[in-house]
Amino acid sequence: MSTRRSLQVLVLTLVALGVFTGGLAWLLDTDRTPPGAPREARLYNGLCATCHGVDGRGSWRAALFLIRPGDFTDRARMSQESDQCLFDVIKNGGAPFGKPGMPSFGHLSDEDIQALVRYVRRFSQ
Ligand code: HEC
Write down the pTM of the prediction. 0.80
pLDDT at 83: 96
CATH classification number, 32-122, choose in 3.40.50.620, 1.10.760.10, 3.40.50.2000, 3.40.630.20: 1.10.760.10
Residue nearest to atom 19 of ligand 1 (CA): 102
**CA 102 to ligand 1 centroid distance, Å:** 5
Q: Return the DSSP state at 93.
A: -
3-state SS of 22-61 is: HHHHHHHCCCCCCCCCCHHHHHHHHHHHHHHCCCCCCCHH
Query: Is residue 105 a contact partner of residue 50, using CB atoms and an 8 Å limit?
Result: no
Query: Is residue 88 a contact partner of residue 106, using CB atoms and an 8 Å limit?
Result: no
pLDDT in tens, 68-102: 888 999 999 999 999 999 999 999 999 999 998 89
Asked if residue 41 has its Cβ within 6 Å of ligand 1, the reply is: no
Asked if residue 100 has its Cβ within 6 Å of ligand 1, the reply is: no
